[in-house]
Amino acid sequence: MRYPSVNLSVLALPNRGCGMHSFMYQATIFISYRRDDSADACGRLFEHLEALYGRGHVLQDVESLAPGVDFREEIERLIGRSDVLLAVIGPYWSGPTETPGLSRIKRSDDFVRIEIEQALRQDMPIIPVLVADAKMPKASDLPRTIRGLADRNALPVRSGRDFRRDIARLIQAIEQHSRPRRARTELSPVPKTLAIASSQGGVGKTTTAVNLAASLAHQGHHTLLVDLDPRSNATIYCGAEPLNGETAVLDWLCGTGTATCDLLRSEIRPHLALLPAGGELYATETQLAELGHPEFKLWQVIESFAQSYEFIVIDCPSSIGLLTRNALVAADGVILPMQPDYFSIQNMQQLLRAIAGIRASNNPWLGLFGILVTMYGTASYLTREVMRELHDHYGRETFHTVIPRTAELAEAPVYGQTALEYAPETLGVTAYEALAREVFSRAQVWKATTALS
């Protein structure tokens, strides 16, 4: 059985200190320049930007490529990774060529022209940077394909004592196009915020979210269950009423922490609180897309009262849309439930790629907390083969606990009860209690590891 290759090392839980969250901004910058025109100025500029934004977030032009590498494809790849292009313009930026009357910027194969064309094609923010007293070229002096460059506000970066002031202005301009990322300080322990996520339905996602949260609470851990699924299944499972009215849901996800606290159902069970969902989350997702940095709304809400809980468990929708991306930005780790079948492993790849993407762009603290096998039934040949392959490829990430397929787990939500309340002595409940202990154990190892780093 063949599985797509996924580098799980980039999804491992990061070994960093724990603490309260705050915003920081991160940008990946592509610098386009001519070596024979502005190399000295660009060297100093590159050094300062790399010190601020980090190695790997400041990319230089690709005038020299390894044999066999297509220049245009490489430009498209690098600019696709970037947030801002700095077009460094020196005195000879559009200088003459061997052809009389033809400046090199007007040559269709000029690498600087190709870089700017690609950035304009991708609608990337471009900041012209003027060095060595260069002047901004007029639109009439530029080829038609890059005349949009003349509409950008150019910033000078001068040498001498003006350099630091000019760099500060440039950084301020860059940050207008930067994306927010989660950051941490060392003030206090972080609650283990776990997103229960899957790109497909029918894998026991909501059953896991509810019964894991209930089992953690039963074992004495103050736990918050967040229902982020517009179907409100986790809310109904707990015997609570879904939110009614678009205003309530918008207050929930887009409003202030105070408004959200008013909607919080505290102590629906001992040590267990619920932040309920409502059907209007479908409409809210559309409205979220119109807001600035919409994928951060859930994280901002949870941060207002996160320190009151030892664990926060988020039940995500069965898709990788904006609501699920909100959960991934808010989470410290992801629990991925899956049935032991071939298509579940195939669908798992989509979520793993989403986790890697969110970690790279918005939440560097996000990790794959664990893969959970659910609905385990008769050990057929196919089931045994999938389990073997799962442990061969993802052994370290897979929980030891396996959730069996039982009638009681399916019946409990009909009565608005957790499985622990409905059938406390059954195999399904025993499994979720074991999972809660394993989650707690992993969280402590994670904490111990980060404390040493």
Tell me: do 15 and 161 sit in the same domain: no
pLDDT of residue 369: 92
Tell me: do 141 and 127 sit in the same domain: yes
Domain endpoint, select from 162, 177, 192: 177
Of residues 19 and 84, more confidently modeled: 84
**47-54 contact pairs (CB < 8 A, 24+):** 48/167, 49/171, 52/171, 53/26, 53/27, 53/28, 53/29, 54/26
Strands 398-404 and 367-376, how do they pair? Answer: parallel
CA distance 166 to 155: 8
Domain endpoint, select from 177, 209, 225: 177
Of residues 66 and 115, more confidently modeled: 115
- Per DSSP, 269 falls in state E
pLDDT tens per residue across span 380-415: 777 888 888 888 888 888 999 999 999 999 999 999
Domain endpoint, select from 177, 200, 215: 177
Tell me: do 128 and 269 sit in the same domain: no
Instruction: Note whether residue 2 is domain-resident.
Output: no
Neighbours of 392 (CB within 10 A): 10
pLDDT of residue 247: 54
Tell me: do 85 and 234 sit in the same domain: no
Average pLDDT, the chain: 81
pLDDT of residue 17: 37
Tell me: do 102 and 190 sit in the same domain: no
142 pLDDT band, cuts 50/70/90, is: very high
Residue 63 pLDDT more than 60? no
Tell me: do 132 and 229 sit in the same domain: no
Residue 270 pLDDT more than 90? yes
130 pLDDT band, cuts 50/70/90, is: very high
Tell me: do 97 and 220 sit in the same domain: no
Q: Which CATH number do you get for residue 439?
A: 3.40.50.300
pLDDT of residue 117: 94
Tell me: do 237 and 169 sit in the same domain: no
CA distance 56 to 42: 16
Instruction: Give the mean pLDDT of 37-48.
Output: 83
Q: Kindly report which listed range (100-109, 131-140, 232-241) carries the lowest average pLDDT score.
A: 100-109
Instruction: Give the mean pLDDT of 15-39.
Output: 66
Report the domain count for the chain: 2
CA distance 447 to 440: 10
Q: Provide, rounded to the nearest whole percent, the portion of the chain with pLDDT above 90.
A: 34
Q: What domain range includes position 386?
A: 8-21+182-452
pLDDT of residue 66: 63
